[in-house]
Every structure is written in structure tokens, then in C-alpha cells.
Amino acid sequence: MIRRRQTKFIHEGPYAAEVDVDLLETEEGWSPYLSLADAEKLDEVRMALRQSDLHRAGQLARLFKLTPITV
């Protein structure tokens, strides 16, 4: 099994988050895939952003606030 580090991006409302996860590569059919712990981490960050719990989301990911640009 090979582990490859990758950054996943989540966007909820005015916030975005970068979450570091490991992709697992095997010789079997559904490769690459996330571990259960990394999938739960993505879900937890997404739920925290939906509830505007920036403290919790910030413990698991790098956070950004999105601002609209007028041209």
C-alpha cells in the first residue's frame, strides 16, 4: 500500500478550508481512496463550517474567508 499526501478543498458559505489527507493506493479495484479517519475529518470540517464553528474547523484545517470581487 502506498500513501500519498493530498490537499482537499471544502467550500461552505463564505468560508473555504484546506484539509490535508492521505490517499491510499493499492493493487485492488477502488484505488486511490481515503481512510475512514480522513473521510470523517472532511465531514467534520464541512459540518463545522456550516455551523460557523471556526474554532473547531481551524483545529483540523487551514481556513479562508471568501470575499466577493466587483469588477
Please state the φ and ψ torsions of residue 61, each to the nearest 5 degrees: -155, 170
Q: What is the pLDDT of residue 31?
A: 84
Side-chain half-sphere of 67: how many Cα atoms within 13 Å?
3
CA atoms of 5 and 30, how far apart (whole Å): 17
Q: State the amino acid at position 59 in one-letter form.
A: Q
Task: Quick: pLDDT tens for 13-60.
Answer: 999 999 999 999 988 878 899 999 999 999 999 999 999 999 999 999
At CB < 8 A and 24+ separation, what contacts does 58-62 make?
Answer: 60/17, 60/19, 61/10, 61/17, 61/18, 61/19, 61/20, 62/17, 62/18
Is this prediction's pTM over 0.95?
Answer: no
